[in-house]
Structure 1
């Protein structure tokens, strides 16, 4: 959309306020965005992906929307005002042509190639509709990865939308724009690979990876201390988070005094004891090495 009406500006403003109330968005790879028209192909995790993506992008985005959602009474006036393009999967020629025309006119057109929201937080099979648009318009294709949105209240984590408590507000989110692909090279296999590469890059930037594993374990176990942490596979007994942390902390002090080596071997069956031992070694700032105790002398 090269120029926006007052209604569109007002809707974008309200959308930005909504997103900023729940998310703290960091954009990466903005220098990869071409001038003129092109296609954006992001993964699809939450109901507000379009709003989050628009907040990260410096230019207006025109979205291709499933016709079923486009014509819903509550959403239709807003989506129509924003210039979204409805698409019917069975009769998509008109929508493909309309989207291609917008890209040729210099606009950014966004297609969610999965065609539906992710229900497990993992990338689904990509549909080929965006390929037709890219080739009709001879437009570059930019893969986009929306990171850390899984787990927010608008995602399906826990088997439900909206009705869960947010883990934190604002929720940190990273949007990574990949390098543009030529339309002939942007097949589903290539785009999928590029999306996964962007996801890997985003994951490696997460602040939690800069902290010690033991610190993250302590943080996690301190939350809901009376919740069950381990169910023993041998006797089916349970161990709460607080008891697991307490036992491991006490054992770690002993290990720190008795062992100077960096690595400590653990020869135990999968059980509460094995879990306590592994956590204790980690808390002692050492590396646990689990050996298969069932191998016996054959392992030598």
Structure 2
């Protein structure tokens, strides 16, 4: 019985080493040591387990911006975080935000929940406020998980509406190589060979084009954009 004190000591040492490793791998300052440690472990997980390769998203050192990508699995937010040197505030479905056991992490990351079954005005205003105060907001403009094989190409109109209120650049990226595509959970667990391709930013004025929802949708899905192509 007298040796049972070793168990909490070992646990404490493991926790300290775990946090220290995360802080060493951390690249973005989230403003809190625990979030920074989680950032580091997300990068370790993506680089070594999922073998993430490809581009880093070249965000400005300061100022508001929007990051967008195709959405193929639950791993996608981790891949975006691992490809940026600034913290990302994700627009996330309310039902995912309230998922048991994960809400604390979403709150630490200052995610913005959006109720897809009702009015989205509150989330819309929060995104505008966040970008105006200099944050980088990340979202998946096709909405829910949307695979390359699906018929619909164009993105939802929310991004275009945001750019009408915000004079900020939009940084598009394409995610590939994830196993377990189409699932929130299996994409995280199954080891793939993830790749992220970052494209040049879109100026907010470019969103005045009538074809912008289709153009961005095609870019994110790896398809050729045809201006005359009808929106399905």
Alignment map for 1:135-214 (pairs within 5 Å): 135-149=164-178, 152-153=179-180, 155-156=181-182, 162=186, 166=190, 169=191, 171-186=192-207, 187-196=212-221, 199=222
Aligned residues: 190
Q: Compare CA radii of gyration and give the structure with the larger one.
A: 1
Tell me, yes or no, if the aligned pair for 2:47 and 2:53 is still in contact at 8 Å. no
Q: Matched residues in 1 for 2:140 and 2:196: separation?
A: 14
Give TM-score, length-normalised by structure 1.
0.56
In structure 1, how many angstroms separate the alpha carbons of the residues matched to 2:29 and 2:166? 17
Aligned to 1:16: 43
Q: Residue by residue, what CA displacement relative to the aligned partner does 1:118-148 show, whole Å, maximum 9, x if unpaired?
A: 3565574421122222222222112111122
Q: 1:17 aligns to what SS in structure 2? A: helix
Cα separation, 1, equivalents of 2:155 and 2:141: 5
Aligned to 1:172, the other structure's residue is in SS state coil
> Alpha-carbon deviation of 1:100?
1.4
Q: How does 1:73-84 map to 2 (within 5 A)?
A: 73-84=100-111
Question: Bigger relative contact order, structure 1 or 2, given CA contacts below 8 A and separation 6+?
Answer: 2
Identify which of 143, 153, 156 aligns with 1:115.
Answer: 143
Q: CA RMSD in A?
A: 2.9
Using the alignment, how far apart are the partners of 1:126 and 1:200 within structure 2? 13
SS at match of 2:194: strand
**CA distance in structure 2 between the partners assigned to 1:123 and 1:21 by the alignment:** 33
CA distance in 2, matches of 1:109, 1:132: 15
Quote the residue 1:134 is aligned against.
Answer: 163
C-alpha displacement at 1:42, in angstroms? 0.4
TM-score, scaled relative to structure 2? 0.70
Structure 2: gaps of 5 or more residues = 1-27, 225-232
Structure with a larger share of its residues in strand? 1
Gaps of 5+ in 1: 202-300
State the secondary structure of the residue aligned to 1:127: coil
